[in-house]
Chain A
Amino acid sequence: MGLLAYGDTGWGDELFFATLMTIAVAAAAMFIGFFLAAIFATLKLSKFKALNLIGSFYTTVFRGVPELLVIYLFFFGGSGAIMYVAKIFGYDGYIEINAFITGAVSIGVISGAYSTEVFRGAIQSIDKGQFEASEVLGFKKKIYYYKIIIPQMLRLALPNINNVWQITLKDTSLISVTGLVEIMRMSYIAAGSTRDPLFFYSFAAVLYLFLTFVSMQLFNKLEKHYSKGY
């Protein structure tokens, strides 16, 4: 247990902050994913075939290609793309993007592909009568979406959002290849310097189990809250 001491002698505090980093990246990725999902779910549900195609292309590619490959694309391509833009403006030096942003964006794009399907399914499962009734009652579009459609949608989507969150949380472990110090990277460093990989990787597994367990409890509570009327 000495290995996990808090402070300079052990790895307790380092692993604690690494866990916070994992949560932060996962939350940021989830947020980016929701944003993308809102856009692409709308595209997928639109009446125009071309827009449907764009939406389907996004979900097919990012759900069918390994996460690691997507991370490499953003990791090696991200700074290149920005440097290219900077060159146009006359800056010739090397620009490195923050590992956190690279990680959050690449996992966010993947998470968004899963969320798109969840959102689309949830909107489609709402009875058409609800839309018609809201319109007949004279609600403005903005208000009836926020007050009538989205609350119902959330109830149906929550179990699936829980799934996407679990996937996203586990996917963050792959960002360790870019050098961002989250749970996996910290365990790698600790395992290397103490020559005790079994202990540190097992402990990392325990940390992930703890995170998935806690978030499952939270989602169960939310699900109960949103299905009060049923």
Chain B
Amino acid sequence: MDLMIESLPRLLNATKLTIELTLLSLFFGIFVGVFFAILRTGKNKFFYYIAYYYSYIFRGTPLLVQIFIIYFGLGQVEWIRESFLWIVLKEPYSCAILAFTLNTGAYSSEIFRSAFETINKGVLEAAKGLGLNKVHTFFKIKLPIAIRQSLPAYGNEMILMLKGTSLASTVTLLDLTGVAKYIISTTFRPVEVFIVAGGIYLIMTFIIHNFIKYLEKRFSYPQ
């Protein structure tokens, strides 16, 4: 019990980094996801296959491999080390965000794609009939419907990403899991630390869950 109270402030402090990593990756990941979802639903076969294989590769391999390739692997290539990319790739922090963004982007692109595909054809025909141009149709019609459609699945993805940020601890970052591991390995009291750190994760999961529920209500059609 003493250890639980003692470790709480340190774990809460580390939670800041976990939240930061989650929010930043999700934020960038939405753009990546929407971009590749548009490529997937477009007519160009070449771009279609790029988007298809991007999502296939990132969903078919563990996140740990992706983060190791980006952090340990890419730094080995000489021309990358001499280019501007090195600014991003030399820091574990930005490497982690890059890996998480690409990973969540792949999963979200699948979610958004299926959301775009379920949009009723009649709605698009109506938009055309009203004389809306492509940009307007996308931002005013397609996107709002797709957002509503993909909310439940995207909520799950947010929770998966929150759990995924724990891998940042494998590239020396001291996020919630990283600090928890450090305390466990110095005190050898895993159960107490697990309860506190796990509890913090569960609270965050709970908040995301309810936030999505609230959004679902807000975005649902008036009945």
Do A and B assemble together?
yes
Interface residues of A (CB under 8 A from B): 60-61, 64-70, 72-73, 75-77, 80, 170-171, 173-174, 176-177, 184, 187-188, 191, 195-199, 201-202, 204-205, 208-209, 212-213
**Cα–Cα distance between A170 and B163 once the two chains are bound (Å):** 14
A-binding segment of B40-48, B104-112, B179-187? B179-187
Contact sample, A vs B, 19 pairs, CB 8 Å cutoff = A64-B198, A64-B202, A65-B197, A66-B164, A66-B166, A67-B166, A68-B167, A69-B166, A73-B191, A73-B194, A77-B194, A80-B188, A197-B69, A198-B76, A198-B77, A199-B73, A204-B65, A205-B66, A208-B60
Question: How many positions in chain B have a CB within 8 Å of any CB in the partner chain?
Answer: 38
Q: Which secondary structure dominates chain A's binding surface?
A: helix
A208 with B62: CB separation less than 8 A: yes
> Who on chain B is nearest to A188 by CB?
B68
Residues of chain B lying within 8 A (CB to CB) of residue A67 = 163, 166
Residues of chain B lying within 8 A (CB to CB) of residue A66 = 163-166, 177, 201
Residues of chain A lying within 8 A (CB to CB) of residue B165 = 66
**Cα–Cα distance between A115 and B74 once the two chains are bound (Å):** 37
A170 with B68: CB separation less than 8 A: no
* Shortest beta-carbon distance from B67 to chain A in Å: 9
Most chain-A CB neighbours within 10 Å: which of B56, B62, B165, B202?
B62
Residues of chain B lying within 8 A (CB to CB) of residue A201 = 65, 68-69, 72-73
Q: Determine which of A60, A77, A170 lies in contact with B61 in the assembled complex, contact meaning CB atoms within 8 Å.
A: A170
B window 175-223: CB within 8 A of A: 177, 180-181, 184-185, 188, 190-191, 194, 197-198, 201-202, 205
Encoded as 1 (CB less than 8 Å from any A CB) or 0, chain B from 46 to 87 comes to 000000000011001111111011001110110000000000
A64 with B201: CB separation less than 8 A: yes
> Who on chain B is nearest to A77 by CB?
B190
A68 with B177: CB separation less than 8 A: yes
**Cα–Cα distance between A141 and B73 once the two chains are bound (Å):** 57
* Shortest beta-carbon distance from B12 to chain A in Å: 15
Residues of chain A lying within 8 A (CB to CB) of residue B167 = 68, 174
> Who on chain B is nearest to A196 by CB?
B76
A173 with B73: CB separation less than 8 A: no
Q: Is B169 an interface residue, CB under 8 A from the partner?
A: yes
